[in-house]
A and B are shown apart, each in its own frame.
Chain A
Amino acid sequence: MRFSEIRDHLSQFRVGIAGAGGLGSNCAVALARSGIGTLVISDFDVIEPANLNRQYYFISQVGMMKSTALKENISRINPDVTVIAHTERLDTSNIPEIFAGCDVIVEAFDRDDMKQMLIEFVLKEMPGIPVVIGSGLAGWGNSESIKFRKADDTIYICGDESTPAGDDMPPIAPRVGMVANMQANTVVEILMKKTRDYFRP
């Protein structure tokens, strides 16, 4: 299959990205380069200098909302992608509206309790929508420990599933990028197998 065919197929789909930090920003850029039609990116945070060790932003963007800055960066990479940027904090009251119509949702939060909230909510309230989870990416080295696992038809896990981030075990660009790109690769795989639902708006 030629890239133009892959891109044309992927352009039909909408992907939700919950969190635009290390996982979300790098995953979104990979999906934009691949030609996903619409990315719905949600993050309530602003860019800080400390984020630049792993997140897809620039020094000149420090202080901007992450989702707004990411929309700008993606438009400079692939203007054919429609980016819908949300700046409110995701919770159980706004998830259905923000991610309405998404074919896949990427879980790209930093905090473990936010990860749990999003995953449990989508599994319960938006059944059938696949969730691609990032779990375990802090530190460096141990490339062989990073793996992919399909738990069932709606749960896909990328990461080492054993290393939580902390002050002495920070997330750093290489491993964060590995997991983020693994998540993007999983999204592409799911969507390449999918035919567009005819009745969807």
Chain B
Amino acid sequence: MKIFLNNREEEFNTNVLSVAKMIELRKFSFKLRIIKVNGILIPKDKYDSTFIQEGDNVLMLYLMSGG
């Protein structure tokens, strides 16, 4: 399926894609992040139970320590 990840079209070779699976497939390694799917904030405990659909708009950002 194709989704928009940070406004860029990305293809995933699966039809069932949870937020947790997306993180795993893209090898996103930092632990602290903010994820929104179609504008809705997804808390960490919902990564397994939230599924991304074809054409969804996914926003992801990493939070780096340091300030």
Contacts and interface: CB of A to CB of B under 8 A. Distances in A.
B16 interface: no
Contacts of B39: 152
Contact of A120 (B31, B34, B64, B66): B34
Interface string A136-149: 11100000000000
A131 to B, nearest CB: 10
Contacts of A115: 32, 63, 65
B59 interface: yes
Contacts, number: 83
Interface residues of B, number: 18
Contacts of B63: 112, 115-116, 119, 133, 135
Contact of A134 (B33, B36, B43, B67): B67
Nearest to B39: A152
Contact of A137 (B43, B61, B67): B67
Interface string A99-141: 0000000001111110110011001100000000111111000
A113 B32 contact: yes
Interface residues of A, number: 37
Nearest to A22: B67
B67 A19 contact: yes
Contact of A110 (B31, B33, B36, B67): B67
A151 interface: yes
A91 interface: no
Contacts of B32: 112-113, 115-116
Interface of B: 6, 30-34, 36, 39, 41, 43, 59, 61-67
